[in-house]
Structure 1
Amino acid sequence: MMKRFHLWVAALLCAALGLLPAAYAGEGHDHGEAPAAAASPTLPRLTASSEAFELVGVLQGHQLTLYLDRADDNRPVKQARIELELGATKVVAQAHDNATFVVTLPQEPPPGVLPVTATVTVGDEVDLLAGELDIHAEAAEVHTETGSILSFWVIGGSAGVLGLGLLGWAWRRRAAMRSSTLS
């Protein structure tokens, strides 16, 4: 009789422990909803390179920010003149911070692939770089959630069922061992 009581207490304990994840942080004790991961399309990029230079650009609205580096050692080029041909539009980049250049376009380019030609002048050195600016239409919103109460219940219920299953297996094994020793 006492052994059955212990068996039931163990079974209830396993079930309670299995539900523990769901009750771990109750209302008022959690840190609120987990923030959704930022899911947004990447900004359009421009890449162009030659044997002497590498040019990377990031388009945000009407503004194109350019980064110019030496191709052989990836060292930023701070003093340069950059003339761009974006499709039919010709613009000159203005030196900005330390090693960045900025171009303000008259209008935001439409979605699609835009051919780009850059003429880079550094001192007596002049180089022509060709590349493409790939502008995608806004991607569909991606909804991501980092966690939910349902996952706590699933994990907790699974742990409870697993605990009860192990307890039942142990009880049957012990009963089988007893019957074999009594025979």
Structure 2
Amino acid sequence: MQLPSLFSALGLALVLGLAPLWAHAHGDHGAAPAAAADASLPRFAATSDLFELVGVLEGQKLALYLDHAGDNSPVKEAQLELDIAGTRVPVTRVADGEFQAALSAPLAEGVSPVTATVAAGNETDLLAGEIDVHAAVQAPAGPAGPRKAWVAGAVAAVLAALAAVWGLRRGRTARVGGAA
């Protein structure tokens, strides 16, 4: 193996070994909203020709998002009444198309019917859906993602460098042995 090809091999080994680190470093650009961070949170969707309502349940807090079905824009100045499993749930408007509610007790496991009455301007509609609540499943504890990526990248870089050095020594031994 000639000297320029050794440097090429070492450079390639370094790039390949550090690739997992670069991929991890560029994968996260800020914190995701709490509801989006955990896709396992119970949620429901209720739609009609006029409106779309999505609810995300975290503990006993319910975040509600109300949009126009036609263009997905938030419904302005809407009033929302909510019933879950036969119990009326008080709703508070946070912003256009955004509401929140606090349940008086946790929902029972299983599927519960959800009914919402929407009044916005001259439009009134009744929406129905279901929310499916199951016990949280805990993931097994393991090494953290960033730490795992660093270890994998370091191991790959070291192995690639060792392979390049072994190839260089093997090439020198062949030249010295062949010349004698």
Answer whether TM exceeds 0.5 for this pair: yes
What is residue 81 of structure 2 aligned with on the other side? 83
Alpha carbons of structure 1 residues 137 and 170: separation in structure 2 relative to 1, 3 Å: same
SS at match of 2:95: coil
**Mapped partners of 1:87, 1:113: distance in 2:** 9
Residue 44 (structure 2) aligns with: 46
Residue equivalent to 2:155: 154
After TM superposition, the structure 1 stretch with the greater mean CA deviation from structure 2, 133-142 or 46-55, is 133-142
CA contact (8 A) 2:90 2:102 kept: no
Farther-moved stretch of structure 1 (148-157 vs 114-123)? 148-157
Please list the CA deviations of residues 38-63 of structure 1 after superposition, one character each: whole Å capped at 9, or x if unmatched.
x8664322211111111011212222
Describe the SS at the equivalent of 1:164: helix
- AA matched with 2:155: V
State whether residues 76 and 120 of structure 2, in contact with CA within 8 Å, keep that contact through their aligned partners in structure 1: no
Q: Which amino acid aligns with 1:147?
A: R
Q: Which residue of 2 aligns with 1:109?
A: 107
Q: Is the 8 A contact 1:40 1:141 kept in 2?
A: no
What is the CA-CA distance between 1:71 and the residue it aligns to? 0.8
SS in structure 2 at match of 1:154:
helix
Pick closer, same or farther for the CA change 1:139–1:66 going to 2, 3 Å: same
Number of the residue aligned with 2:165: 164
TM-score (ref. length: structure 1): 0.64
State how 1:124-143 maps to structure 2 within 5 Å. 124-142=122-140, 143=142
The one of 65, 68, 71 aligned to 1:70:
68
Highest Rg: 1 or 2?
1
Counterpart residue identity of residue 47, structure 1: A
Mapped partners of 1:174, 1:111: distance in 2: 74
- Correspondence for 2:53 among 51, 55, 67: 55
Identity among equivalent pairs (%): 38
The C-alpha deviation readout for 1:31-86, integer Å capped at 9, x for no partner, is: xxxxxxxx866432221111111101121222212111101111111222222221
User: Does the CA-based 8 Å contact 2:77-2:96 persist in structure 1?
Assistant: no
Matched length? 147
Report the structure, 1 or 2, having the larger helix content.
2
Specify whether residues 50 and 152 from structure 1 end up closer, same or farther in structure 2 by C-alpha distance, changes over 3 A only.
Answer: closer
Tell me, yes or no, if the aligned pair for 1:78 and 1:100 is still in contact at 8 Å. no
Q: Is there any run of 5+ residues in structure 1 with no aligned partner, and where?
A: 1-9, 22-38
User: Offset at 1:92?
Assistant: 4.3
User: Secondary structure in 2 aligned to 1:159?
Assistant: helix
Q: Quick one: which amino acid aligns to residue 118 of structure 1? A: A
Deviations 1:118-163 (A, max 9, x none): 1212233221212121223122134341226864763354134303
Question: Aligned equivalents of 1:40 and 1:69: distance in 2?
Answer: 22
Q: Matched residues in 2 for 1:105 and 1:97: separation?
A: 20
Unaligned stretches of 5+ residues in structure 2: 1-5, 18-36
State the shift of 1:96 in Å: 2.3
Give yes or no for contact 1:52–1:70 (8 Å, CA) kept in 2: yes
Q: Cα–Cα, structure 1 residues 58 and 166, in superposed 2: closer, same or farther, change >3 Å?
A: same
Of 118-127 and 71-80, more deviation after overlay is shown by: 118-127
